[in-house]
């Protein structure tokens, strides 16, 4: 011990000591928090050595600070910065099963209000290990257990340390390249980069990539649009003549079921249906429901789902398209297309408008109204971390919905069924679902908040029926993405009748199914459709039902009802599923049996073709969005969106002004109902409405502008 201490009393010794501590906690993170899927001796070896090179390079910078007063604070500061990076990734991984990219970090600055709410719930007791070493070292220095070494080292020495670090890094990269050729040059997988080269190299590499993509953006090439259009033209699936225009002129209400997965449908827990009302819709002959429909989101999660539904283009390979490009990209999406067909458009959402940069993106999409958190009372226990509770959102939306001109395209983005799946005591008391008791509280509570969401939709439907609005309306319900992440899935497995120990990547992929239902009283031949599809396919499907051909637009999805519909569903990371095969991380499974397939030559070729199509589709979508190519594309008769026309701050007065201007021609529910207020017809059992209480212990969301209209 004494000997060790004696060594640590020199600068070099202290440097090595800090590196050893940092190495220890990185390895701890690799095993305790990150699921890296390491296989084989070389991968393990790489995992163990990959934190060393970068810590030598980073901590070694401190040697350029000669006076002890500077050297010690400098090296500790570098240690702290590197620890912050490690720790943020630990937190991020718990929610997203992924690492933070530079664009996520920068994009998130716009949306961190919600994320910080969830981050608190994502911390765990063992997190103390990430910080303990630094605290102890500082104490040891303060109490002189570790002595300060006054002897500075030369610049040559500092440079030697740098050289050793660089040499080690080269060695590390060479070894990695032996196991995974072209690791850095090929389109990469974040997980692999961290596994082989460590978090620091990944982050630096990613920063470089982000910079390059910004450059790319500035050199947009107009001609590229023809390649994109050639692809979507060849891919286009003509509408099914039996379906085309069958819902023409109807109001469209899109209900975004937050974090809602398909396995909840028809699921019973402790003998009770989790979502009895959604099950009823799912099984009704007024509904076209899909049971092989997948979410396809990347890191942009909700915003990626929204982007796919509105535009039929993919989210970005990293970060959120809404956050990164939403403020200035040209879109040719649902609100604008329907808008030019006589529809008004609105979004109802209980979170602040800036979350996912919606306030800017919606204007570019052509949304006329955005009723965000500032339009509702979100005080006390009326909101959870991501905004107004669903029952209240639907109820409070009515005063705005009833003044919206028909036909309308209205989107409701729910939030209560969002990780960490919290409700207040009273809401839980009213909840009919007894949570399962696995040892993961997120898994347990997920069923409870899903039940709450189900009830809130039932209340909204009751209102639609009572007011007669249902007759003219088609409701589209869909789950945006997984609620339980891959790390939680094994715990969930027994509840799905599966084995926890045999749970694998194939099972994870299959669990990415989310509901997609098109429901309207005017549909009388509803059924459960087994076609494979995903979020990218919603827009062309919906447009065709409404009698608007999608051919002239650039869309990557295809109509789910078309005979030519493409059943290969691409995930954002280039994995894919089809009715026959499932491809995860390069392994091919039989989609029916889940068995690994070892393809013969012929099949190999076929699979390769599918993979290439998936890659091309994703990369063309990325080119289109990253270079903002739609600015050069002018579909016949489509008017470019002018975002400056929209102002979301006085929605209700704007609606009323429109009603006045239209006079007898106004088709808002309020006017067609003889100017009678319909808000009183809305019934909810939400305890917050009936017996207002206050609760200050929970995360509150703030109203950014005080433009609340009552
Ligand atoms: C917040 C909500 C959540 O406004 O839409 O987004 P998510 O975290 O699911 O991406
Ligand atoms: Mn979401």
Ligand 1 atom 7 nearest Cα: 302
Task: Express each pLDDT in 367-398 by its tens digit.
Answer: 999 999 999 999 989 999 889 999 999 999 99
What is residue 117's predicted lDDT score, i.e. its pLDDT? 58
322 Cα–ligand 1 center, Å: 12
Per the listing, tokens 């051919």 go with: 551
302 lines ligand 1 (CB under 6 A): yes
Which token pair is 650? 């006085």
Q: Which atom of ligand 1 is nearest to the CA of 481?
A: 9
What domains are there in the chain, each with its CATH number? 2-217 (no CATH), 224-645 (3.40.720.10)
Average pLDDT over residues 77-90: 95
481 is in an annotated binding site: yes
**pLDDT of 709 strictly over 80:** no
CA–CA separation, 689 and 637 (whole Å): 47
Ligand 1 atom 1 nearest Cα: 386
Q: Which of 379-383, 432-436, 519-523, 626-630 has the highest mean pLDDT?
A: 519-523
Nearest to 254 by CA among 398, 457, 399: 457
Nearest to 457 by CA among 267, 281, 199, 268: 281
Task: With cut-offs at 50, 70 and 90, classify the pLDDT of residue 702.
Answer: very low
Residues in the chain: 710
Task: Express each pLDDT in 131-166 by its tens digit.
Answer: 999 999 999 999 999 999 999 999 999 999 999 999
Helix (H, G, I), strand (E, B) or coil at 437: coil
Classify residue 419 as exposed, middle or buried by CB count within 10 Å of its CB (0-12, 13-18, 19+): buried
Cβ 544 vs Cβ 559: under 8 Å: yes
Please state the φ and ψ torsions of residue 530, each to the nearest 5 degrees. Answer: -95, 5
Residue tagged active-site, from 26, 83, 232, 302: 302
Residue 696 bears catalytic tag? no
Q: Which ligand is nearest to the CA of 303?
A: 1
258 is in an annotated binding site: yes
**pLDDT of 173 strictly over 50:** yes
Helix (H, G, I), strand (E, B) or coil at 38: coil
């Amino acid at each position: 011990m004494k000997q060790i201490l004696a060594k640590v009393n020199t600068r070099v010794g202290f440097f090595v000591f800090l590196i050893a501590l940092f190495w220890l906690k990185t390895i701890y993170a690799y095993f305790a928090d990150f699921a890296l899927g390491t296989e084989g001796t070389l991968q393990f070896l790489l995992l163990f050595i990959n934190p060393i090179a970068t810590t030598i390079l980073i901590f070694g910078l401190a040697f350029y600070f000669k006076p002890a007063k500077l050297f010690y604070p400098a090296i500790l500061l570098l240690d702290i910065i590197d620890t912050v990076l490690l720790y943020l990734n630990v937190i991020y991984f718990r929610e997203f099963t992924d690492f933070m990219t530079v664009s996520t970090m920068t994009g998130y600055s716009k949306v961190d209000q919600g994320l910080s709410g969830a981050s608190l719930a994502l911390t765990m007791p063992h997190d103390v290990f990430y910080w303990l070493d630094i605290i102890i070292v500082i104490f040891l220095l303060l109490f002189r257990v570790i002595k300060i070494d006054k002897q500075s080292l030369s610049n040559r020495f500092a440079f030697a340390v740098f050289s050793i670090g660089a040499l080690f890094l080269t060695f590390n990269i060479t070894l990695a390249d032996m196991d995974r050729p072209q690791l850095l040059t090929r389109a990469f997988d974040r997980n692999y980069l961290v596994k082989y080269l460590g978090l620091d190299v990944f982050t630096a590499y990613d920063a470089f990539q982000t910079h390059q993509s910004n450059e790319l953006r500035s050199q947009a090439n107009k001609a590229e649009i023809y390649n994109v259009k050639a692809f979507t033209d060849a891919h286009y699936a003509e509408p099914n003549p039996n379906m085309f225009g069958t819902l023409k002129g109807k109001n469209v209400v899109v209900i975004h079921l937050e974090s809602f997965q398909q396995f909840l449908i028809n699921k019973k827990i402790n003998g009770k249906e989790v979502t009895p009302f959604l099950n009823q819709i799912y099984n009704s002959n007024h509904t076209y429901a899909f049971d092989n429909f997948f979410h396809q989101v990347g890191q942009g999660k909700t915003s990626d789902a929204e982007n796919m539904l509105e535009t039929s283009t993919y989210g970005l390979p990293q970060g959120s398209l809404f956050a990164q490009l939403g403020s200035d990209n040209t879109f040719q999406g649902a609100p604008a297309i329907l808008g030019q067909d006589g529809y008004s458009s609105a979004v109802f959402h209980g979170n602040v408008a800036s979350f996912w940069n919606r306030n800017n993106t919606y204007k570019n999409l052509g949304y006329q109204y955005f009723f965000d958190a500032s339009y509702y009372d979100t005080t006390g226990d009326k909101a959870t971390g991501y905004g107004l509770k669903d029952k209240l959102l639907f109820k409070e939306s009515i005063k705005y919905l009833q003044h919206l001109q028909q036909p309308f395209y209205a989107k409701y983005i729910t939030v209560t069924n969002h990780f960490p799946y919290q409700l207040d005591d009273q809401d839980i008391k009213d909840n009919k679902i007894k949570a399962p008791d696995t040892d993961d509280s997120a898994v347990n509570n997920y069923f409870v908040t899903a039940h709450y969401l189900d009830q809130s939709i039932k209340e909204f439907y009751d209102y639609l029926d009572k007011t007669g609005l249902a007759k003219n309306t088609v409701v589209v319900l869909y789950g945006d993405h997984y609620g339980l992440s891959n790390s939680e899935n094994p715990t969930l497995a027994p509840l799905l009748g599966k084995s926890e120990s045999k749970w694998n990547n194939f099972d994870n992929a299959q669990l990415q199914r989310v509901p997609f239902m098109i429901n309207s009283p005017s549909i009388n031949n509803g059924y459960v459709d087994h076609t494979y599809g995903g979020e990218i396919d919603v827009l062309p499907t919906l447009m065709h039902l409404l009698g608007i051909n999608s051919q002239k637009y650039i869309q990557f999805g295809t109509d789910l009802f078309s005979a030519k519909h493409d059943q290969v569903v691409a995930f954002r990371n280039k994995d894919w599923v089809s009715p026959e095969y499932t491809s995860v991380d390069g392994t091919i499974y039989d989609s029916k049996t889940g068995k690994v397939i070892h393809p013969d030559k012929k099949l190999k070729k076929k699979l390769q073709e599918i993979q290439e199509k998936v890659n091309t589709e994703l990369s063309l979508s990325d080119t289109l969005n990253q270079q903002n190519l739609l600015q050069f594309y002018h579909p016949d008769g489509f008017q470019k969106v002018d975002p400056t026309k929209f102002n979301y701050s006085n929605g209700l007065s704007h609606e009323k002004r429109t009603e006045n201007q239209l006079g007898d021609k106004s088709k808002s529910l309020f006017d067609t109902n003889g100017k009678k207020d319909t808000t009183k017809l809305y019934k909810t059992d939400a305890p917050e409405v009936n017996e207002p209480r206050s609760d200050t212990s929970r995360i509150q969301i703030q109203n950014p502008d005080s433009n609340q209209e009552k």
